[in-house]
Structure 1
Amino acid sequence: MSRVCTVSEPDLWCRTLCLLLVGFVCYALPWSVFAALPLAGDNQPVLRIQGSNTIGAALGPALVKGLMQEQGLLDIRIEATGKDNERRVTGQSAQGRRVVVEIAAHGSSTGFAALKNASADLAAASRPIKDSELVELEDPDAEQVIAIDGLAIILHPHNPLARLDTEQLARVFSGEVKTWEQLGGVGGAIHLYARDDRSGTYDTFKELVLARRDKNLSPTAKRFESSEQLSDAVSRDPQGIGFIGLPYVRQAKAVAIVDGGSQPMLPLDSLIATEDYPLSRRLYFYLPPNEQNPWASALVRFAQSARGQAIVATNGFIAQTVLAMSVAPAPQMPEGYQAIARQAQRLTVNFRFEEGSATLDNKAHQDLPRVLDFLKRHDKLAKRVTLVGFGDAKNDPARAALLSKLRAMTVRRELVRNGVVLREIRGFGAQMPVAANTADEGRIKNRRVEVWVY
């Protein structure tokens, strides 16, 4: 979209002009996306992004290009800089001024370090920030979820193994299990492939698989900074196994994963969107704690807009767009849950909660407007919605069921404030776990609320 008004013009006049020119309420997308952004001096970047290779390899440049198009820039290009895993996105203003955004994708930890020393305006991360990396990010809006990804466990395409559990994965990647025969397969020695230490992909795998079992990655693993190179190496090695972000499976084979009492799950879009898949993860932009670059704030908001989420999907990640999906009833489901599945469709979003709290987490607050928009557009506001709560295991199953229903009541309160009249609220306690209850991370994943529509 071309330039409509400048940030210095009166707010009311600006919004009225938007209505006249484009024929819809401009609140539908974040305001800063529409406002003209300032240009830097000659050869100076308007925005510097550092961090995750998972984001920076393709998604980050594509989002920047989309924002530049919204700004009406011309001749937009994504260029290599001559340095590994670094990109430059350039455009030209109508007045002929060159606009440059620099992206360095050397791992999530480098993004947090760059925020701390002010060498970046925005950090891209494929894992949450650690306590040791906090840079006075007291503003809860500093952390912004832009997409959902899944870590795929990949094998050579001719490897017959179909599933692995997270305990097996930990033993394989720590080097305790050394042959495919120990896993019930064939092929001799197992060859390990892993991302490098600065990678958010590696940090996520270490947290979700290795650290929970007090194990470390085997020193025999071949390490890669590039996701594409790792995936291609596994697809050429009949004895190879690796872990990778979902868009980078490429020619390799992904296997189904089991965690605790969960069912085997392939890294399918629907299971990753709801974060039920055991190795699902969130992708983030982190804003700096103090004065923010307007381009950084605009890129975050663009990434979360409808057009930004379309770019997320085009690049192989899972958009946060809310959709309705049919779920086939299965014998392992509680009968009451099967009854819901026979009549209703589940939305591709789960509401989850802050650790040790009944408060909705950051992503849940971002998802509320998306769910409300879906309900309004599909005429589901009046007794067409059922909330289904789940929790982690308790000594008393009745208490677990009560707590799961109370979590659903938390979501109900937010929906009712916005005009939704619920059909029903159900709590199924610790049934149908999606993660092991032996670790805090697993218990947090199991404490969830599903949304079903009739």
Structure 2
Amino acid sequence: MTWLRAAALAALSVLAPATGAHAQDITLSSRDGKVEISGTLLGFDGEFYRVDTKFGELTVDGSGVTCDGPACPSLTDFVAEITLSGSSTMAEVLLPALVEGFALRNGLQTHRETLDQAHFVYSLHQTRRDAPMARFTFHVTNTDEGFADLLANEADIVMALREIRPGERERAQEVGMGDLTEANRARVLALDAMVPVVAPDNPVQRISTADLARVFAGEITNWSDLGGPDAPIALHLPTAGSGLAQGVEDRLLGPARVPLAEAISRHTRSSQLARAVAADPFAIGIASFAETGTARALTLTGPCGFSLAATRWTIKTEDYPLTSPMFLYLPARRLPKIAREFLAYTNSSAAQIVIRRAGFVDQSAELIRMGAQGDRLANAITTAGEETPVEELQRMIATLSPMARLTTSFRFETGSSRPDAQSRSNILSLAHALETGAYDARKLVFVGFSDGEGPAQGNTRIARKRAEAVRDAVLNAVETAHPKSVEIGIEAFGEALPMACDDSDWGRKVNRRVEVWMP
């Protein structure tokens, strides 16, 4: 039977977990009654059954069978159930805005119901009088709890403010959820950043990343050491299991090789942290860029004199060193059709507008003219010397001045040639733009830059190889034929245009990049 062959071939795949009543025994019979499969219903997505049988776990097309048993779902009144768990920053504003945007685009009505402090539900209806066709249930916790819920089969989608950790990835593979680092399992939904914030009347305006790490390690305890008043520093961070707090440990304290201080006030919501810091003139916290509230963000500096503030452009380009992509993680199981449509919508241009209006940084490409990049050029002039002569700077300016830089940039994991998470997302986004003709009759120039470690000529060669590798990755990701109407170029200027000081791992990472420029 065709449906049975399909079931056997699909035995390695999985569907969304069963919801409502506890999973129970069912019997699936072919239309002619000659073949039956009995087992425990594990899930139904409106199209396919997932059943645990004596043959193992099988996935069966519902159109080819009849179902008998108390757990059999209704094929006509099916309600898609999607559960999201994780980051409160994403659950409180971003995802609800996207659910409402998705419903509006598809002519659906939404109804929100608060279950308790940590749970709420969005139901989608054809009209207000109709029964729901889908329910999006949100568990407002943190990134740690989101992954725990996924591994326990209590969530379909994780909302995360950090990348999945090796232990979580291994456990997901062990329980049959596939590799959550694959492109179709991990996606960047929007962009954020970890921003040091103080009260508006705090006189300190800037702080180096090294000093920021020492502050949160408890090594700097008085504002006078940072050019402020003679007063003790009060530390604030999100709750320990949140992706933002873990990002502080992994990306700020880890490279500095210092432990986190013990005397820290913790907050379950980034918005609560910002309010607490804004009310205390001697407090400092690290908050989400989207939720700084009335607190004031400090500009990050380096010992070589460079400075970088968190803005929409510097976050999009990853020029700001503490960027924090916002992830959705999906297991290797089939989600209901409306969930798949919603996930496709989150990549659309309409969704990028919703993301921006919700206060987060979207991923739509923008052009930055040379005239708006004064700080970058000042940095280049400041660091020019024997390794980067004036002639090389003049060549760079002559090449790039007639063009504008796309915010779509590419950086690499520390100590690796592998693009980092945001850059892997950018590869897919740029490939999609090429497929849809967004750059037809235009020229894209992939421009490589390096850090200042080693000889300048060697760095320029490495930068060119990185530019070529990113170009190849983008073109390989194009699913249709190679776009003949787009001219592709390669350039490299090595260490001629640094973004940060080279005296730290994060500074060198910021400087090792591939940019995209357009005439």
Q: TM-score range by the shorter chain?
A: 0.7 to 0.9
Q: Deviations over 1:60-80 (max 9, x none)?
A: 111122223344322x13343
Q: Indicate yes or no: 2:160 matched with 1:154.
A: no
1:66 correspondence with 2:101: yes
Instruction: Tell me if 1:82 matches 2:102.
Output: no
User: SS where residue 378 of structure 2 aligns?
Assistant: coil
1:63 partner letter:
L
SS class of match (2:340): helix
Match of 1:234 in 2: 277
Check if 1:143 corresponds to 2:186. Answer: yes
Counterpart of 2:138 in structure 1 is: 103
Instruction: For residues 333-371 of structure 1, give each alpha carbon's deviation from its aligned partner in whole angstroms, at most 9, with x where no partner exists.
Output: 244333345322111110234662367852132222355
* TM-score normalised to structure 1 length: 0.83
Letter paired with 2:263 = T
Q: Which runs of 4+ in 1 moved over 6 A?
A: 39-45
Q: CA deviation at 1:415?
A: 5.2
Matched, 1:129 2:189: no
Q: For the Cα contact (< 8 Å) 2:379–2:499, is it kept in 1?
A: no
Aligned-pair identity (%): 26
* 2:448 aligned residue (379, 389, 396): 389
Who is 1:369 aligned against? 431
Which structure has more RCO (C-alpha within 8 Å, separation ≥ 6)?
1
Residues 284-363 of structure 1 mapped to structure 2, 5 A cutoff: 284-326=327-369, 327-329=372-374, 330-333=377-380, 334-353=393-412, 356-357=416-417, 362-363=424-425
- Could you tell me how far apart the structure 2 residues matched to 1:67 and 1:262 are? 45
Report if aligned partners of 2:87, 2:243 keep a CA contact under 8 Å in 1: yes
User: Relative to structure 1, is the Cα distance of residues 437 and 289 closer, same or farther in structure 2, using a 3 angstrom cutoff?
Assistant: farther
Separation of aligned partners in 1, 2:243 and 2:496: 30
User: What are the superposed Cα offsets for residues 31-55 of structure 1, whole Å, 9 maximum, x if unpaired?
Assistant: xxxxxx9599789761100011121
SS at 1:343's partner residue? coil
Paired position in structure 2 for 1:421: 487
Q: Which has the higher strand share?
A: 2
TM-score normalized by the length of structure 2: 0.73
How far 1:225 moved relative to its partner?
Answer: 0.6
Determine if contact 1:344/1:452 at 8 Å carries over to the other structure: yes
**How far, CA to CA, are the matches of 1:354 and 1:331 in structure 2?**
27
Deviation for aligned residue 1:410: 2.4
Q: Alignment length, in residue pairs?
A: 412
- After superposition, give the CA deviation of every residue in 1:146-205 in whole Å (9 maximum; x if it has no partner): 111111111100112111111101111111111110111115111111100111111111
Give the aligned partner of residue 282 of structure 1: 325
Shift of 1:242: 0.6
Question: Equivalent of 2:516, from 448, 451, 454?
Answer: 451
Paired letter, 1:401: T
Structure exhibiting the larger radius of gyration computed from Cα positions: 2
Letter in 1 for 2:373: A
Give the alignment of 1:258-269 within 5 angstroms: 258=301, 263-269=306-312
CA deviation after TM superposition for structure 1 residue 320, in Å: 0.6
Shift, 1:398, TM fit: 1.7
- Name 2:290's counterpart in structure 1: 247
Q: Matches of 1:144 and 1:325 in 2, distance apart? A: 25
Which residue identity lines up with residue 64 of structure 1 in the other structure? V
CA distance in 2, matches of 1:119, 1:141: 20
* Cα separation, partners in 2 of 1:371 and 1:350, compared to 1, 3 Å: farther
Q: Which moved more, 1:177-186 or 1:91-100?
A: 91-100
The code of the aligned residue for 2:331 comes to: P
- Give the CA deviation at 1:397: 2.4
Structure 2: stretches of 5+ with no match in the other structure: 1-44, 48-72, 381-392, 477-481
Measured in 2, the distance between the counterparts of 1:341 and 1:187 equals 47
RMSD of aligned alpha carbons: 2.8
